[in-house]
Chains A and B, each alone.
Chain A
Amino acid sequence: MIEIKNISKSFGDKKILEGITLSFQPGKVNMIIGASGSGKSVLMKLMVGLHLPDTGSIEYDGQDYVSLDRSERSEVRQQIGMLFQNSALFDSLTVEQNVVFPLSMFSSESQAHNIKRVNFCLERVGLAKTNKLYPAELSGGMKKRVGIARAIVLNPKYLFCDEPNSGLDPLTSILIDELIKEITQEYDITTIVNSHDMNSVMEIGDQIAYIHNGHKEWEGDKATILTTNNQLLNEFVFATNFLRQFRDKSR
């Protein structure tokens, strides 16, 4: 379980996040939604330790990440898998080398054992027999799936996904969403997804937090997101005419 308490962050004079408190449950897909520039990516970077908050705490199973030393942070990080918006695969390495990288770095098992695990993960994301391809030879959806395989290869307890659907067609988006949901339930992972794709939110979101201008504006589940009276959230969720008409008809 991850709990963030009273998190604030500024860059120079610009306040990005202020007083955010949230908790994320294991075995569930926890969505953080918000418009571009609302601060959700910064929040995710704080949670994975790429930045440190100005105030507040980030607790992984009760352990405050902010107050840990470098080696303790490294141990927590090995329990984190992350899928980046642009996949962030290492260009100079093949698919197999990308996925085996965390294992080779941190596992004392033999290379043959590691490759077996890589093949399992690649098969799990539907990319068996792509081991020798380079990232430049993959489509956007395939890169995301390799990113997921690399994120889960060390059996993480926490999975972070930053805009997993960006740049993907609707069908591939659904595949990626389903994969994230299945993996979360299968391995009882605490999954946190940053998104502004409402299809994704409604498909896989168990818990949803809405961030607006650096503040937590709303928190709930997908059943209540459609019926809430929060005006800012309504403007975000029903941003298109199509959705507004759909809502009005269903009332």
Chain B
Amino acid sequence: MRFFFHFGRYLLLVKQLFKRPENYRMYWDELFRQMVAIGVSSLGIVIIISVFMGAVTTVQTAYQLISGLVAKTVIGAIVSDSSILELGPTITSLVLAGKIGSSIASEIGTMRVTEQIDALEIMGVNAPGYLISPKILAAVITIPMLIVLSISLSIGGGIFVGDLTGILSAQQFIEGARSSFLPYNIFFALTKAFTFAFIISSVSAYQGYYTSGGSLEVGQSSTKAVVYSCILILLSDYLLAQLML
């Protein structure tokens, strides 16, 4: 029953996001602030995890495929396909759920317990619209960009480490990657990116918006935002794979 209560309340909150803004310029300014907070500030962590993800996948794939019967280019094909289909979109989104999700939930949760959201509502501002819509829109714009970057860097990390350690040359890696490349996989990766971006931002905003109590509850909301976002990312990852592949 609690699931249906939260799901219903979540849908009602999402419905409020589509109401007409009181002032487009204010929402527009807020959207750009959020794009910086969500997108630009996550660049560092995305770059680090992506390069290492590609590098480690290359080393481990080579470890499992050491055989004279398998061409080395297969390593490039496996690493690039894994990066596009799973590692780039899913692992990056799970990391971003931790970084962005907790930040959104704690920011909105703190505004709730310190009556800042009440202040907005009393002014006549649609508080969910002003606080949450720009965050969701910013996430849906910037997270797919981060994921495209992550895929590229993961493949780049694989090429670099493969060449550096002598597992396979950069040319062999690229040859393998090109031989297995399907443009549809990029479409699939971007579909996952948009879905995960919406899940991270909306679930975290929901957890923050309905925080009640004090600083302890803000922390709990932040933890719940990360946990539920991760579970929903994995669940939707499976569903999308089942539906689209």
Contact = CB atoms under 8 A, between A and B. Distances in A.
A108 B180 CA distance: 57
Given A84-B115, A88-B116, A74 B23 contact: no
A17 B111 CA distance: 27
A105 B26 contact: yes
Do most interface residues of chain B lie in helix, strand or loop, or is the interface mixed? helix
Contact of A86 (B23, B115, B123, B124): B115
B122 interface: yes
Contacts of B122: 48-50, 77, 80, 82, 160
Nearest to A160: B122
A91 interface: yes
A49 B125 CA distance: 13
A147 B123 CA distance: 13
Interface string B207-224: 000000000000000000
Contacts, number: 53
A90 interface: yes
B116 A101 contact: no
A168 B118 CA distance: 22
B23 A106 contact: yes
Contacts of A80: 122
Given A104-B23, A105-B26, A106-B23, A75 B124 contact: yes
A91 B113 CA distance: 13
Contact of A104 (B26, B110, B115, B121): B26
Interface string B47-85: 000000000000000000000000000000000000000
A88 B118 contact: yes
A232 to B, nearest CB: 29
Interface residues of B, number: 16
B123 A88 contact: no
Nearest to B130: A105
Contact of B118 (A75, A84, A91, A101): A84
Given A88-B115, A91-B116, A105 B121 contact: no
Interface in A61-94: 73-75, 77-78, 80, 82, 84-86, 88-91
A158 to B, nearest CB: 10
A102 interface: yes
Contacts of B124: 73-75, 77-78, 106
A78 B23 CA distance: 14
Nearest to A111: B25
Contacts of B121: 49-50, 77
A105 B123 contact: yes
Nearest to B22: A105
A102 B123 CA distance: 7
Contacts of B110: 91
Interface string A142-179: 00000000000000000010000000000000000000
Contact of A84 (B23, B111, B119): B119
B61 to A, nearest CB: 45
Contacts of B23: 104-106
A105 B122 CA distance: 13
Contacts of B179: none
Nearest to A85: B115
Contacts of B22: 74, 105-106
Contacts of B111: 90
Interface in B104-139: 110-111, 114-116, 118-119, 121-125
A160 B22 CA distance: 23
Interface string A87-129: 0111100000000011011100000000000000000000000
Contacts of A91: 110, 114, 116
Interface of A: 45, 48-50, 73-75, 77-78, 80, 82, 84-86, 88-91, 101-102, 104-106, 160
25 contacts: A45-B118, A49-B122, A50-B121, A74-B124, A75-B124, A77-B122, A77-B123, A78-B123, A78-B124, A84-B115, A84-B119, A85-B115, A88-B114, A88-B115, A88-B119, A91-B116, A101-B123, A102-B123, A104-B23, A104-B25, A105-B22, A105-B26, A105-B123, A105-B125, A106-B23
User: What 5 pairs between A and B have smallest CB-CB spacing?
Assistant: A77-B124, A88-B115, A74-B124, A88-B119, A78-B124
Given A45-B118, A104-B23, A105-B26, 20 more contacts: A48-B122, A49-B121, A49-B122, A50-B121, A74-B22, A74-B124, A84-B118, A86-B115, A88-B114, A90-B119, A91-B110, A91-B114, A91-B116, A101-B123, A102-B123, A104-B25, A104-B26, A105-B22, A105-B123, A106-B22
